Structure 1
Amino acid sequence: MDTFFKMSERGSSTSAELRAGLTTFLAMSYIIALNPQILQGAGVPFAATITSTCFGAGIMTIAMGLFANRPLALASGLGINSMIAIATISYCGGDWHAAMGVILVEGIAILLLVLCGLRQAIMDAIPVSLRHGISVGLGLFITMIGLMKAGIIVSGGGTPLALGKLTDPSFAIGVISIVATIFFIALKIKGALLLGIVVAVIAGIPLGLTTAPSGIVSFPDFSTFGAPFQADSTGTMGIVKVMTTPTLLILAFSLMMSDFFDTMGTAMAVAKQGDFLTKDGDVENMREILVVDSCAAAAGGLLGASSITTFVESTSGAADGGRTGLSSVFCGLLFFVAVLFEPLISVVPGAATCGALVYVGFLMLSEVIEIDWSDLLDGLPAFLIVTGIPMTYSISSGIGLGFIGYVVVALATKNVRKVKPLMWVAAVAFVVYFLVS
């Protein structure tokens, strides 16, 4: 096992990888309950979505560990599942099977782009300054996710954001998780991020946030599997509707753009924490990572779980010592266990992971010094990415703003020769994406 996963070569151990896998699982386990809640609005059966969410995450996370051998975990992506819930009503005539067909088509399309080398080529065309900007922007984004999970920042009354109420139990748990994590890190205790989560979960018991489980065992429901090939009341399969409806094909393009660049940014963020990002900003084993992630998108549609994508919470496991695919394999196995013990898993409050995510965000912000802010061509597009990712609450949108900004600044400063051909292609694609979204 050591030889296969290269643990010794990467300065890791079995215990460190298992700990990291558990940390990542706890940081992203909220999706087990949240994805069914969101998709339920589209008519997808709740119990069946729990099964598809866990199976999809388990299969693809294990595949990532075995094929790419990197500490990346995957599950149904937030944002895309909300879009699917809306699209089911607005574009699919209430047929969620067709919406899952859109996901399947999008996943196959993005896999073809990976196999023909276009996705990797676009990554190679991105200037180093923008790569650093993506990491910094994701650091702020991850911090924002953690603080929002804990209710430390909330939607304001008359303002986009505001400070949450200190008397809110979720706020208290978030603060406890941050403080506990900082103390464990300062004391150089192994597994500091995981211990911070555990302390917060325990502290949530007297505060009423960590509640007793509604049961112990739940049973799998596989009724959403093969959703795109299931027929509606008229006898028409979802995938047939997609292939014969231009509006749904345009929707598939929009989702493909989101998936295309979300994974790129997430992989760079995890690579920074997992020590597999080169000095030039390249992610080692990126092709393997992209192949698995693209297959995951298609698998999400096939299983009825919405698009499965690489989770930015993987950074918590990488920061906690994960260096190989073993942590991903263990995390994936935990998702399979969660199918049977979902009531127990769901008692972990999202606020308990706040400390881990905030600390990871802090680590990622260090790359801000790598950007040449005195150079307009390097600094301004990077700034658009850094601010755009958290402020739009979208990795792909933030990256798109930076890409378009880079081309505009290059034209204004007469540095057009520095813009590689595929950067032009990506910038134009983002303009189309923003117009049709």
Structure 2
Amino acid sequence: MDTFFKISARQSTLGTEILGGLTTFLAMGYIIAVNPIMMQVAGMPFQAALTATCFGAALMTIIMGLVANRPVALASGMGINAIVAYSLCESHALGVDWRVAMGVVFLEGIVILILVLCGLRKAIMDAIPVNIRRAIGVGIGLFVAFIGLKGGGIIASSPSTYLTLGHLSSPACIVSLVAIVLALVLETIHMKGSLLISVIGATIVGIPLGVTKLPDHWNFGLDFSSFAAPFQIDPASGSMALLAVLTTPALLMFVFSLLMSDFFDTMGTIVAIGDRAGFVDKQGNVEDVQSILTIDSVAAAVGGFMGASSITSFAESTAGAAAGARTGLSSIVIGVLFAIFAFFAPIIGMVSASATCGALVIVGFLMLSGIREIEWDHLETAFPAFITIIGIPLTYSITNGIGFGFISYLVVMAVLGRIREIKPLMWIAALAFLLMFVVS
């Protein structure tokens, strides 16, 4: 096992890999409860969505561990599942059947897999200026911390100022503050497993405060009726769901939108995880990137096939990397846990957003260290880096932040009269982003 996963070679241990896997799983385990609810809005049976969510994540995360040997976890992507539920299925304009929506996801996965196998995805990553690559990881760090603070209630929405301080005396905020303090104290004294302990400790504290909901039922049933969804019959047209996608221009535009989101979300996420797990060099190049991107692309198609929405790499994997995970063994641990909790989903439902707040805030802090590597005296890449950093959390989208960074890079280089220095793939990517923003 040590030889296969290169545990010692990467200066890790068996215990550290298991701990890292547990930390990531608890940080992203909310998807087990959230995704089935989103898919239920789309019209899919809840138990079928739960089965697809768990087994889809388990399958692709284990494959990532065995093939790429990197601590990258995959599951149904938040954001894309919202598009599926509200823009595709519940929309008054489209209102397609969930099987057709899964056909859109499946087709997007096939297209992005072709782009990866052609080397285009890696080539675009290589074409991105180093400062912007570094900025992506920093922006995701702010994004992860923002997700933690927002989910924990410490940051709340406001009609007048958009964002404001939450009610710190509320039970949810109290648990969040306990999670942050606990994670900070344990991290300060270099306690092994500090992030995992903070999640568990905050979950326990949340029981008497009513934030941690104890299971009131156990459901051991599995439902595989959503599998092969794109090849099932669309009730509205009477034809195969995938055929309905291929013959509807509006749905093909959704394929393009999902493609852009999946393409660049994963790119940013992999850079961020690699930076924490030590497989990104000083030039921002990701080791084993082709195998990682290939598996992620296959996962998108598998998600559509199984009815789990698009399965993608999770930024929460940075929590496991921060806990010491360096190999694919941690991914195996995560995958096995997803498979087990297909039967015990109520247990993961006990872990609230408040309980994971501390871990996500600390991870965000750790990821911010990359900001010192950005060459701020080079305006042509420093300003796009700045736009990328603030664009990711402020638009609540990794893809949007990267898009703003790319477009601003082209503008600055054009003004400086250095258009010839822009690599062709950066032109293609920036123009694709511009098209996406206009269409949206």
Please indicate the TM-score interval, normalised by the length of the shorter structure.
over 0.9
Q: CA deviation at 1:349?
A: 1.0
- Corresponding residue for residue 231 of structure 2: 229
Q: CA deviation at 1:92?
A: 4.4
Structure 1 stretches of at least 4 aligned residues deviating more than 3 Å after TM superposition = 89-94
TM-score (norm 1): 0.98
Q: CA-to-partner distance for each residue in 1:259-301, whole Å, 9 max, x for gaps?
A: 0000010001111110111111011111011001000000110
Q: Structure 1: how far apart are the matches of 2:362 and 2:279? A: 19
Q: Structure 1: how far apart are the matches of 2:44 and 2:169? A: 36
> Map of 1:13-162 to 2, 5 A cutoff?
13-85=13-85, 86-90=87-91, 92-162=94-164
Amino acid at match of 2:288: N
What is the count of residue pairs matched by the alignment?
A: 437
- State whether residues 213 and 349 of structure 2, in contact with CA within 8 Å, keep that contact through their aligned partners in structure 1: no
- Corresponding residue for residue 163 of structure 1: 165
- Corresponding residue for residue 425 of structure 2: 422
Q: CA-to-partner distance for each residue in 1:300-354, whole Å, 9 max, x for gaps?
A: 1001110000000000000001000000011000000010111122111121111
**Structure 1 counterpart of 2:208, from 198, 206, 211:** 206
Q: CA deviation at 1:373?
A: 1.9
Partner SS for 1:188: coil
Amino acid at match of 2:255: A
Q: Which moved more, 1:122-131 or 1:427-436?
A: 427-436
Q: CA deviation at 1:413?
A: 1.0
Q: Structure 2: how far apart are the matches of 1:28 and 1:101? A: 25
- Corresponding residue for residue 413 of structure 2: 410
**Structure 1 counterpart of 2:310, from 307, 310, 316:** 307
1:327 has 2:311 as partner: no
- Corresponding residue for residue 242 of structure 1: 245
**Structure 2 counterpart of 1:256, from 254, 259, 262:** 259
Q: CA-to-partner distance for each residue in 1:40-78, whole Å, 9 max, x for gaps?
A: 221111111111100110001101101110000001101
Q: Structure 2: how far apart are the matches of 1:34 and 1:93? A: 21
Partner SS for 1:154: strand
Q: CA-to-partner distance for each residue in 1:58-108, whole Å, 9 max, x for gaps?
A: 001101101110000001101101111121233644311111000000000
What percent identity do the matched residue pairs reach? 55
**Structure 2 counterpart of 1:339, from 320, 342, 351:** 342
- State whether residues 132 and 370 of structure 1, in contact with CA within 8 Å, keep that contact through their aligned partners in structure 2: yes
1:10 has 2:10 as partner: yes
- Corresponding residue for residue 393 of structure 1: 396
- State whether residues 89 and 95 of structure 1, in contact with CA within 8 Å, keep that contact through their aligned partners in structure 2: no
Q: Structure 2: how far apart are the matches of 1:244 and 1:143? A: 42
Q: CA deviation at 1:217?
A: 4.1
Q: CA-to-partner distance for each residue in 1:100-134, whole Å, 9 max, x for gaps?
A: 00000000000000000000000000000101110
Q: Structure 2: how far apart are the matches of 1:287 and 1:181? A: 34
Q: Structure 1: how far apart are the matches of 2:96 and 2:418? A: 49
> Map of 1:157-196 to 2, 5 A cutoff?
157-196=159-198
> Map of 1:352-391 to 2, 5 A cutoff?
352-391=355-394
Partner SS for 2:75: strand
Q: CA-to-partner distance for each residue in 1:195-221, whole Å, 9 max, x for gaps?
A: 111110111111111122122342111
- Corresponding residue for residue 349 of structure 1: 352
Q: Structure 2: how far apart are the matches of 1:338 and 1:350? A: 18
> Map of 1:261-300 to 2, 5 A cutoff?
261-300=264-303
Partner SS for 1:258: helix
Q: Which sections of structure 1, spanning at least 5 residues, go unmatched?
A: none
Q: Structure 2: how far apart are the matches of 1:344 and 1:214? A: 10
Q: Structure 2: how far apart are the matches of 1:303 and 1:435? A: 32
TM-score (norm 2): 0.98
RMSD over equivalenced CA pairs, Å: 1.0
